[in-house]
Amino acid sequence: MRHAGRDDDRHDPDRQGRHPPCRAEIPAPGREDGVSERVFVVAAGATSFGPMPDVDGHELARQAVCAALESSGIDPAEIGIACAGHAYQGPCFGQKALMKIGLTGIPIVNVENACASGATAVQTVVNAIRAGQAEIGLALGAEKLTKPGGGFLPIVADDLESSMGRVMPAAFAMIARLHMERYGTTPEQMAGVAVKNRRNALRNPRCHLQKAVSVEEVLDAPMIADPLTRYSCCPVSDGAAAVLIASEVAARRLCDAPVEIAASVLNSGLRTPYGIVDDRSEMSIRAANRAYEVAGLGPEDVDVCEMHDPFTIAELVHYEDLGFCAPGEAGRMIEEGRTEIGGDVAVSPSGGLLAKGHPLGATGVAQIAELFWQLRGEAGEYQVPGARVGLAHTVGGGVTKLESGACAVHILTA
């Protein structure tokens, strides 16, 4: 079905001429240097998300990696490179976690990119496979946030905005107020996002929050940052996820139905000549435009999307950023059920960050794992019928001296 907003000029490549090219983007298919230009996900594994007081981050990572290996029968000795995404797990986290399964001696890279750390790990492995550094690579994401003192962003002491209360919920509350003022978006429409994602989560045993809520319950919940209530915000979670990524030759040997990563794009915020940092929407729009271009697809082709939705308003704004609807139409889109499983594009059928949880470093890798299962028809009760194209969208930073953070968009095809 053709989506509203397909002709929105924000997704016109010509409009992007005002920005310099994104240096972190991978080259489009069709390279002539003899290096593998197609990469595939061949296995995925994940822990449940939620409070796990008796399990440390290294053990969570081990469980996710072992789940991916066991589901595929791939020998760990075949892995030629690994990358671990995390935000607050300390130095050499990947080495310590992978030592538990005897995976040593190979290049192990640790990346931190705020909430986009896991997605950055995926892109790092994709680029390594494309460059011929390995035939098989492991992307791992993990986070332990429910330890004492966890669940916050440790920002530098001289940050004025955070000292004045501009923390994440407050920042998104301002985004919500702006969207309400500009487009007439209602609190009920925002609450509809939480209702949808909580309903999806009931079908996914890995989810942190396993309780349905109504629009009224969302609106009546304790206020966090007006107009966002407790149920408008994602929970603080522990968890880990892992995916195995391979070249085309290795993928055909290892997997009967590999899922191709048709586009892997990473960018960061830009400063204009006036010193203004572009916002989350601009990062998402630029990353999505490039990903669609690389994959040779458009927003109307996407069947399932795992979206960065830590707050209800974030999901609505990103409907518009990713081209699923025109600016100002997101409220109507959720109201009409067009992002439900079976709708125009199923958004966050896993439950999303709002219900599945958001263990920062794990999130981006878990999104890829979810799309892998969806495109292979293995998502169980929350399977999107006939899904052939999936999009994963992750944003890191965007507040308190993280304004120029990161946005990653991956497009997967069956």
Q: Show the DSSP H helices in 1-82 as ranges.
A: 57-72
Active-site residue flag, 86: no
As a whole number of angstroms, the longest Cα–Cα distance in the chain is: 59
Extract the residue ranges of the chain whose pLDDT is less than 50: 1-8, 10, 13-34, 149-151, 156, 400-401
Least Cα distance to 224 among 301, 152, 170 occurs for: 170
E-assigned strand segments in 284-404: 304-306, 346-347, 389-396
Please, where in the chain does CATH 3.40.47.10 lie?
9-26+163-206+261-413, 39-147+238-259
Quote the CA–CA distance of 402 and 360 in Å, as a whole number.
15
CATH 3.40.47.10 is held by the domain 9-26+163-206+261-413: yes
Quote the CA–CA distance of 116 and 266 in Å, as a whole number.
9
Would you say 269 and 282 are in contact if contact means Cβ atoms under 8 Å apart?
yes
pLDDT for the residue numbered 153 = 52
Task: Considering the candidates 22, 83, 115, 207, report the single residue annotated as catalytic.
Answer: 115
Chain segment 123-159, per-residue pLDDT in tens: 999 999 999 999 999 999 999 988 754 445 555 455 5
39-147+238-259: CATH superfamily: Thiolase/Chalcone synthase (3.40.47.10)
Active-site residue flag, 179: no
Task: Please list the residues that pair with 242 across neighbouring strands.
Answer: 45, 140
Give the single-character DSSP code of 100.
T
Would you say 78 and 91 are in contact if contact means Cβ atoms under 8 Å apart?
no
- The pTM (predicted TM-score) of the whole model is 0.88
pLDDT for the residue numbered 2 = 39
Burial class (CB in 10 A: 0-12, 13-18, 19+), 161: middle
Task: Considering the candidates 308, 358, 393, 410, report the single residue annotated as catalytic.
Answer: 358
pLDDT for the residue numbered 158 = 53
